Amino acid sequence: MAATRPLLSPRRRHSPSCALYLGIFVAVASPMVVYSTWTEGFLVGRGVRRAVSVRAGDVTMTSRPVAVLGANGRTGKLCVQELLAEGFPVKAITRTGSFGGDSSSPLLSTVKGDVTDKGSLKSVLKGCRSVIFAAAYSRNAGNKPSEVDNAGLVNVAEIARELGLERVVAVSSGAVTRPYAPVGLLLNVVGKGVLFEKKKGEESLRKILKGSGTTYTIIRPGGLKNTPALGPQKTELNQGDTIVGSVPRADVASAAVTAALAAKNVAAGTTFEIYSLDPANDIGPRPLMPWYNLPSGYETSGQTWDEAFSGLKKDERLSPRGFY
């Protein structure tokens, strides 16, 4: 059974002063800039570490590959490495048609595809089992958040539904529904409205796949760190987009791979935040705004990712409350 924190008293309502907002910005946003990367490409991280595999072991073996979009990004590359290490066939989809990691495995095929070009996606996704969307806006690529994080995810969702893919796992970002939070303000300014576009993409993904045979899982990482994976035992999932914290990319990749492969598909139809609980963690968890409770009452964790996923509430149960 998933471990959960007790539900706290009803949400406190305050009218924070400007000084308090400034304090929150310094305490939350500044360390994020120094130590982490929330979206691929516009803040600089260091190195790439392989994700550790900590799964329930109940996965469905298949000859059909799992597609990874954005496979040359730091998180996407870790997803490819995790899948290969577990012995699953992978189709790495990149804008250049080449993979920047180790391409020696016979289980790996690399193809050219761009999420902004719907025509190129249909042929490369055909025959795949599931897809992990790890693509993200990058200043260096010369694209826009609206083209990748919004329209790009819409393209993938529509093709996945048309082709009958089993699952779409989308790596999004924390604070997408909280643009007024210091971190949200910072990222939307630096990333040209990237969180606004990610939120639109998430909403469209849910609508497009509703009632289809294709399920979705949306993962919202906090500040991404290029450090070794800690595993689910030192990681917490949350819902409602009220709590923020940093997390190794390797743990995000491992959770995404499990969501794409686990036989029971426990994470289907869920949206959740993910952050580290390691005592040495330099950021969080902490409320995105001072009037959000910590704990939120939606925390879940476990010895395996599937165990942690089992404590999540489906989005259809959360949406009447006004959040995902």
pLDDT by residue (tens digit) across 232-257?
999 999 999 999 999 999 999 999 99
pTM: 0.82
3: confidence class by pLDDT, cuts 50, 70, 90: low
Flag whether pLDDT at 283 surpasses 80. Answer: no
Beta strands 215-221 and 223-225: pairing type? unpaired
The model's pLDDT over 105-147, given as tens digits with 9 standing for 90+, comes to 999 999 999 999 999 899 999 999 999 999 998 877 778 999 9
pLDDT digits (tens, 9 = 90+) for 178-209: 988 888 888 877 877 899 999 999 999 999 99
Q: Identify the residue whose tokens are 């979705």.
A: 216
Question: Quick one: pLDDT at residue 250?
Answer: 97
pLDDT of residue 1: 54
Q: Can you give the pLDDT at residue 248?
A: 95
Rounded Cα distance between 241 and 66, Å, is 28
b/e map 76-89, b = 16+ CB within 10 Å: bbbbbbbbbebebb
Task: State how far Cα 152 lies from the chain centre.
Answer: 15
| Identity at 228, one-letter amino acid code | P
Pair of tokens at residue 9 = 């008293």
Q: Tokens 């992990």, residue?
A: 132
Return the H-helix or E-strand segment holding 271: strand 270-276
Q: For residue 145, which of 87, 187, 82 has the smallest C-alpha distance?
A: 187
| Residue written as token pair 């779409």 | 168
**Helix, strand or coil, per DSSP, at residue 284:** coil
Overall average pLDDT of the 85-98 stretch? 95
pLDDT value at position 281?
64
- End-to-end Cα, the chain, rounded Å: 22
- Average pLDDT score over the chain: 83
CA distance 33 to 42: 10
Whole-angstrom distance, CA of residue 240 vs CA of residue 88: 33
**% of the chain at pLDDT higher than 90:** 65
Residue 120 has a pLDDT of 86
Strand 130-133, strand 66-69: pairing:
parallel
Instruction: Please check the confidence at residue 320 and state whether its pLDDT lies above 70.
Output: no
Residue among 194, 170, 145, 133 nearest 270 (CA): 170
Residue 323: the pLDDT is: 59
Nearest to 55 by CA among 259, 270, 297: 259
The H helix count followed by the E strand count for the chain is 11, 12
Query: Three-state SS across 21-63?
Result: HHHHHHHHHHHHHHHCECCCCCCCCCCCCCCCCCCCCCECCCC
Q: Residue 307 pLDDT > 80, yes or no?
A: yes
Confidence tier at 317 by pLDDT (50, 70, 90): confident
Confidence of residue 276 (pLDDT cuts 50, 70, 90): very high
* 222 within 8 A of 251, measured Cβ to Cβ: no
